[in-house]
Chain A
Amino acid sequence: MESKAGTGNFADVLVVGAGISGIQASLDLASAGYKVIMVDKAPSIGGKMSQLDKTFPSNDCSMCIESPKFNECNRDPNIEMLTYTEVDKVEGKAGDFKVTLLKKPRYVDEGKCTGCTTCVTYCPVMIPDPFNQKLSDNKAIHIYFAQATPLVPYIDENCIHLTEDKCRICASVCKQNAIDFAMEPEKVEVKVGAIVMAAGYETFDPGLRGDQGYGKFENVITSLDYERLLCATGPHEGEVLRPSDKKHPHKIAWIHCVGSRQVLPGGNSYCSSVCCTYIQKQVILAKDHDDDAECTIFHNDVRSYGKDFERFYQRAAKLPGVKFVRSYVSVGREIPGSKNVTIRYSTPDQGVMEEEFDMVVLGVGLNPPKNVKALAETFGIELTDHGFCKVDPANRILTSRPGIFVSGAFQGPADIPEAVYMASGAGAQIGEMLAQRRGKLSVERVYPEERDVAQEEPKIGVYVCHCGANIGRVVDVPGTVEYAKTLPNVVHAEESLFICSTEAAQKLSVSIREKGLNRVVVAACTPRTLEPLFRDTLREAGINQYYYDMANIREHCSWVHSKEPEKATKKAHDIVRMSVARAQHLESLQEFKLPVDKRALVVGGGLAGMTCALSIANQGYEVYLLEKEKDLGGVARRIRSTIEGLDVQAYLRDLIAKVYRHPQVHVYADCTVLSVDGFVGNFTTKVRTERRQIEIKHGATVIATGADELKTEEYLYGQDQRVMTQLELEEKIADGDAAVEAAESVVMIQCVGCRNEDRNYCARICCSHALKNALTIKAKNPAAEVSIIYRDMRSYGLNENYYRAAADKGVKFVRYEPEGKPVVEPAVEGGKPVLRVTVPDEILGAKLALDADIVTLSVATIPSATSQAVAGMFKVATGPDGFFQEAHVKLRPVDFSAEGIYLCGTAHYPKHFAETISQAYGAAGRVLTLLTKDTVTASGSVIKISQHDCVTCGACIAACTYGAITFQDTPEGKKATVNAVLCKGDGLCTTKCPKSAITLQHYTDEEILSQIDAAADGHWAAE
């Protein structure tokens, strides 16, 4: 095996599965000082996420956010990628595994192939394209998908040379002699200390049972099929065309829960967690593709339980022509001729109906990976009854075999952010196990020496990206390229389908060298995401990274002017011209290396904070843990058990003891944060404890300040002792409260204080909490009547099984609409005082009255009272609901935009016990990617003072609260002098200097004024 790091077949970690979870695990582990081997059975890394068109709830382009990670993996010297490879055998034990890998023959030599695709052009055999869900054809030899990494074709097993020993055209046209039909499966043995199983999932296959006419009617497709249809790189280049006649479907139906939430043979009893929201996304996109589309969504409970999901649901529901219908359905028949499909459903108003649709999309759920039993056997791990990886009930990253960790959807349905933070969490747990091996095998990345181009004339290259269809569908990209060629100092311009793909970035690097460019403008998306990637590309090409500028023609152009292609194209020209104007003036800058303080600060001593702190300490780093209360534990102190039956108090006692005993964890309870100073790698936080004030220096910060239970005034809460919250009920049940034990009837009301105007979000955990308490009551007293009055039961994922169990045990479920909220009032029934709960009954059309001894409110979980103050001090953002705002909802779920600060637990959003633990490990993993570094790099974009011009007025010193400017004695007298390490590059001082003696590098007056002038384009002169 060829090895980037030259360590042969030795590595620290094997990551199995290179979907988004495996990619994140590999990147985190590699950057925390481990050598990683990443394998995937597919011909490219990327997993299921690469097949998605967009991701909810931000509707980010899936490939655009994932493919830069391919690039990072490819460039990381500590990540070895083996695609088209499976695991054959796992021997040994934790710390010392011997793993046999089986490289399948792709019949193309990865070392020789240049990815020129001549072979693909000449290949005469068409096969159904697996990446496009077989909705279109591809050649028998082809590159798996446009942004595949590695960008090397493979030969499908249906190649006629392989099946019939004919053809060999590809071999004869390949100038590199890269085609090798003699390739045999190759066994490779590797030695690793730990394994991450990120095996992912398969979508439920409705073809097996012929669910809802799938496989029988051409125009019934799965949601993953639809995802490909939406995508610019899909079967019809982003045109949604239905299979039967390749026409635009106008009237589309979606069916929820296909293969999920059912106990029939062949179905899955659990909820797949992601389908409700991905269907809403598909509806929004359907309307985006076709304004007049009529979309009908047949649903059961709508489970918008995640951050911002509720708003996303409302957004979809409010679109004109979109109809959400709560009904079980069955697909009826195919209309001869039109091949339209009918759906039978029923509504309370209209009874049973049959309606015709042009196309039907099945919201298929998530299954365990294919051949999961064999997989489990190979790895020696246990599976659950559902076939998912069996995990520790508290720590869902632990498998049944020591040294093997799991992340992502292999442990149960999970969406992308969970898959990402679990991956970081697996990184943390491996860091604990392999702390001694850190940094032993890994190597530093080496860049070529920078070419000094300061004296050269600007030679600017402009690269205009189609971004699939995201830009190209609106902006005339070839026209923009031609336009760019007319601009001063532009010596080269070209277009690219996806400039961020690994292949395109490599080509960019080559092109910079070949064309002798010394300035680069990429016209694509926002610099806030991809600027680091392209700067890195410049470094690889031997050019200073500050010779780069990004023209944002997607977020600021094609996406916001999508109905005005001509004007958008004109604007794209303007944006490119402004960038080119700026590029003329760009200067080479050097970055600073700043030492990293190797200590971490964790704010919040609840479950999340303690778990995170302990993991950081177990990896060998010192941690300060702050708690505002006298005792550690947070809200978890009030939780007695999880729905799975884990004894939370015992777990918590053990955790608290471990935290206090650990010599590397310093706990400060009963304390308040007074101030925070500094930046990534070098924070100083002042804290007041009961007795004194202390100053803590630390390199990383974790915000784990938790959440609070809403204090409601609704439903007689606070007025009548028989009305209590779920947490209170849980405590009373556990403590044997007499009134609760004697209760013959308990009524629970869901969504108290949330999913309303004040709090437009779902608090995620309350449905399961209600089920847990209902089941406990039923277990203690089967005769007790328990009713749950709900809007949508959001027992997502495996908790669905408890919903069914509760129904089986006789728990009654009564649904209400927000406009018909239940009413609670004291009453007397049969001489006994009761609480009468009345609620409009949708089906009977009358009022339903339930008499209860105990009324339990599922009140909202709200942001911690301290969160705004904490946000202000640490300079981090909170979202519209007051919870802390992560850097990116999908791919940076535990990072803040501000570097060096991380996030976990309910401070981020309400979360279940095990979810909190996974996320806390995730944050610990991210912290370690920073603390294991000796230095962080500070931007070269800092100020420069022309001391000759300084008049010693002190205006700049007064403005700079960072204290970066001071007066120093110079031969010319006392002058303002900058300490570049302290300068944060905001540029405020430059606007204060009456002599304009201060320049902010990379944002000089020259650079900005050139952009302003270019924006005007001399139109006053021209007219």
Chain B
Amino acid sequence: MSKEFEPRMLGIICNWCCYGGADLCGVSRFQYPPFIRLVRVMCSAKADLSYVLRAFSKGLDAVFIGGCHLNDCHYVTNGNFDALAMVNICRKVLQHIGIDPMRLRLEWVSAGEGIRFANIMNEYGGQIKELGPLGEPEGLDRKELLFRLEAAAKIVPYVRLVQMERLRVTERTEEAYNTFFASEEFDRLFNETIVEKLEMSRIVTLLGQRPFSTSEMSERLNMSASDVSRHVKASSRHGLIRYDANHGCYALA
């Protein structure tokens, strides 16, 4: 690259706290690098998984989510806990599809913390600048990145279901959230549910390009033949794909 890398970053921040903090940062004239573009939402919980994936699929280098400090949410829903859950799950999804999870960051900034907003922007901006453009340090070309993000975006409805049924943290405390998302239990559930679905999604997405045989799929997706066969069976059962006996390959149903 000829000129110095300038990250393009997206911020999705809540109106009541982080946006206020970003405003106060401005009023106080604290300086930070001009990398980020901010989108205002009413609650950090509104920063949906699909928004994060969309941002990466458009080539943005990082996504920042800012909300009120836990238990200071403007709403009785305490939606910032939901933002915390989403970020934990999303970072794991990113990791699974080969994107550095550092590219997604969540912080709590109150409307009185202008300096904290500036500090975060300076630090995170620097980190992303050092990390490099999306895909480059990951060793993924654009086509591959888009393919993987497309597969991930397809399972957003499923992630919502799983979250409700199996990944819900009952106690709304920071400790309970941190403990759960750091637990082996979470890893196990994540692998059983989201990873499984993601692999199926990759197959379906691949078959969206053209029909493939299982061995071709195994090669293209870097997936073991047994895994491919398991996911193919499940996908066929769900009526997503079908076997084309004439050509000896699978295609979209």
Contact = CB atoms under 8 A, between A and B. Distances in A.
Task: Please indicate whether A and B come from the same complex rather than being unrelated chains.
Answer: yes
Interface of A: 58-60, 288, 526-528, 552, 554-557, 559-564, 567-568, 570-571, 574-575, 578, 677, 872, 875, 877, 879-880, 885, 897-898, 941, 953, 955, 958-962, 984-988, 990-996, 1000, 1003, 1005, 1008-1009, 1011-1013, 1015-1016, 1018-1020
Contact of A575 (B10, B12, B37, B54): B37
A554 B26 contact: yes
A1020 B110 contact: no
A1015 B29 contact: no
A986 B43 contact: yes
A1015 B23 contact: no
Contacts of A877: 72, 110-112
B25 interface: yes
A992 B77 contact: no
A405 to B, nearest CB: 33
Given A986-B42, A987-B43, 12 more contacts: A556-B38, A877-B110, A961-B78, A986-B46, A986-B77, A986-B79, A988-B82, A992-B160, A996-B157, A1003-B46, A1012-B39, A1012-B54
29 contacts: A59-B29, A60-B27, A552-B23, A560-B34, A561-B33, A575-B37, A578-B37, A875-B74, A877-B111, A879-B112, A897-B111, A953-B161, A955-B160, A955-B164, A986-B43, A986-B75, A988-B45, A988-B82, A991-B49, A993-B160, A994-B161, A994-B164, A1000-B46, A1008-B12, A1012-B54, A1012-B55, A1012-B58, A1016-B60, A1018-B58
Contact of B28 (A59, A996, A1003, A1005): A59
Contacts of B161: 953, 955, 994
Nearest to A559: B26
Contacts of B86: 991
B174 to A, nearest CB: 15
B10 A1015 contact: yes
B19 interface: yes
B39 A1011 contact: yes
4 nearest interchain CB pairs?
A: A555-B26, A1016-B58, A1020-B59, A559-B26
A61 B39 CA distance: 24
Contact of B41 (A552, A557, A1003, A1016): A1003
A285 B16 CA distance: 28
Interface of B: 6, 8, 10, 12, 15-16, 19-20, 22-34, 37-43, 45-46, 48-51, 54-55, 58-60, 71-72, 74-79, 82, 86, 110-112, 118, 142, 157-158, 160-161, 163-164
A563 B161 CA distance: 48
B58 A990 contact: no
A622 B77 CA distance: 31
B54 A1015 contact: no
B164 A953 contact: yes
B31 A561 contact: yes
B19 A880 contact: no
Given A984-B75, A1005-B50, A1015-B10, A570 B25 contact: no
B54 A567 contact: no
A578 B36 CA distance: 12
B181 to A, nearest CB: 17
B51 A555 contact: no
Contacts of B55: 1012, 1015-1016
B31 A1012 contact: no
Given A877-B111, A1015-B39, A528 B15 contact: yes
B160 A987 contact: no
Contacts of A959: 77, 82
A898 B58 CA distance: 36
Contacts of B38: 552, 556
A991 B48 contact: yes
B90 to A, nearest CB: 12
Contact of A562 (B20, B31, B42, B142): B31
Contacts of B110: 877
Contact of A988 (B20, B43, B112): B43
A234 B96 CA distance: 58
A563 B34 CA distance: 11
A526 B54 contact: no
Contact of A880 (B49, B71, B112): B112
Contact of B31 (A563, A872, A1011): A563
Nearest to A569: B34
A568 B160 CA distance: 38
A991 B48 CA distance: 6
A994 B60 contact: no
A474 B4 CA distance: 22
Given A880-B112, A897-B111, A1012-B10, A555 B25 contact: yes
A1003 B71 CA distance: 24
A991 to B, nearest CB: 5
B27 A59 contact: yes
Contacts of B34: 557, 560-561, 564, 567-568, 570-571
B10 to A, nearest CB: 5
A987 B60 contact: no
Contact of A994 (B20, B142, B157): B157
Contacts of B41: 987, 1003, 1008
A884 to B, nearest CB: 12
A670 B39 CA distance: 46
A379 B14 CA distance: 51
Which one of A955, A991, A994 has the greatest number of beta carbons of chain B within 10 Å? A991
A1000 B30 CA distance: 33
B31 A560 contact: yes
B249 to A, nearest CB: 31
B153 to A, nearest CB: 11
Given A575-B37, A877-B110, A988 B25 contact: no
A288 B29 contact: yes
A987 B38 CA distance: 18
A875 B160 CA distance: 28
Contacts of A1000: 42, 46
Contacts of B15: 528
Contacts of A561: 31-34
A6 to B, nearest CB: 40
B238 to A, nearest CB: 15
Contacts of A556: 22-23, 26, 38
Nearest to A567: B34
A304 B158 CA distance: 57
B45 A995 contact: no
A568 B32 CA distance: 11
A562 B160 contact: no
B27 A58 contact: yes
A569 to B, nearest CB: 10
Contacts of A564: 34
A58 B24 CA distance: 8
Nearest to B110: A877
B76 A875 contact: yes
Given A526-B23, A555-B26, A556-B22, A991 B45 contact: yes
Contact of B40 (A527, A563, A984): A527
B180 to A, nearest CB: 18
A990 B49 CA distance: 11
Contact of A1020 (B6, B46, B142, B157): B142
A695 B12 CA distance: 38
Contacts of A958: 164
A941 B40 CA distance: 14
Contacts of B157: 994-996
Which one of B32, B46, B49, B163 has the greatest number of beta carbons of chain A within 10 Å? B46
A280 to B, nearest CB: 14
A987 B42 contact: yes
Contacts of B8: 1015-1016, 1019
A898 B112 contact: no
B8 to A, nearest CB: 7
Given A987-B43, A1016-B60, A560 B118 contact: yes
Contacts of B25: 555, 560
A554 B27 CA distance: 9
